[in-house]
Amino acid sequence: MRIILALSSAIILLFSTSCKKDSTATPYTCASCVQSPDALAANDNSSKGIYKGVVIGSTGTIKFNIANNGTDITALLVIDGVSATLTSTLAWVGGQPYVAPFTGTFNGSAATITFSVDSDGTNATIVSSNIPGHASAVFAIIKESSTALVEGYNGTYSTTRPETGVFNILISRTAGLWGGISKENGQSSTEDVDGTFVNGKLFQSTTQIGTLNGDVITGSFQDSNNSTVTIEGRRVL
């Protein structure tokens, strides 16, 4: 079944016995998120550069810097609000695929994630991972280009089946595409999800599943089982 992610902005109505006052909450924005690509033009067709991803198991993001602006080779992993910086000692070599283990400490224990990408920057993937407390983590990774910012969103979904789950995606507004992974709560399997992004709206095939307002995704649609699916999510990368 194909499902999607979500998040919500809130309008809070405050009441008192003596007066009534409407107040609109400040819309959510990702204060730590960049508004233009970190990736350099010189790396657009190379295994060098910036790679961004979302994680399910539990929920989070990852960002790889493969010698984007020099020799630094690092990965910033965030899962359930806990972050860790991982590093690799394997040097980048021009014209070659880059496959390397990234190691560090997550929640006080050793963690390893092995990253792989072709020589031209395509087919970025996680070969294996050993993250304490997250043995079944699943990743969706994409390379950012110098002209197309990649944004990461963590979200949830619920349906009238009923069913609830996690829906984490990456969006490129410039490319007009989105993609990621979803997982039903209590289940071990995940599902790849993707679609197009047009005029602030997320589509899966011809079905509009959500709308992006600022850094917030919300939406409601009917799936192939005639269940209503509600999604909400927010930008975190």
As a three-state string, the secondary structure of 185-235 is CCCCCCEEEEEEEECCEEEECCEEEEEEECCEEEEEEECCCCCEEEEEEEE
State the Cα–Cα distance between residues 194 and 129, nearest whole angstrom: 23
* Assigned token pair, 162: 């009923």
Q: Which helix (H) or strand (E) holds 112?
A: strand 109-117
pLDDT digits (tens, 9 = 90+) for 119-156: 999 999 999 999 999 999 999 999 999 999 999 999 99
State the Cα–Cα distance between residues 155 and 163, nearest whole angstrom: 15
Q: Is the dihedral of CA 33, 35, 40, 44 positive or negative?
A: positive
Under 8 Å between Cβ of 125 and 71? no
Give the pLDDT score at 28: 96
Angle at 64 between CA 200 and CA 173, to 5 degrees: 10
Q: Which residues contact 86 (CB under 8 A, 6 or more apart)?
A: 74, 75, 76, 77, 102, 103, 104, 111, 112, 113
pTM for this one?
0.89
DSSP label of 145: B
Per-residue pLDDT for the chain (237 aa), expressed as one digit of tens each? 333 333 333 323 333 334 444 556 789 999 999 999 999 999 999 999 999 999 998 899 999 999 999 989 999 999 999 999 999 999 999 999 999 999 999 999 999 999 999 999 999 999 999 999 999 999 999 999 999 999 999 999 999 999 999 999 999 999 999 999 999 999 999 999 999 999 999 999 999 999 999 999 999 999 989 999 999 999 999
State the Cα–Cα distance between residues 54 and 122, nearest whole angstrom: 17
Q: Is the dihedral of CA 2, 229, 217, 206 positive or negative?
A: positive
Q: Is the dihedral of CA 131, 137, 143, 149 positive or negative?
A: negative
Amino acid identity, position 228: T
Residue with tokens 């961004």, as numbered in its chain:
52
Phi, psi of 43, rounded to the nearest 5 degrees: -105, 5
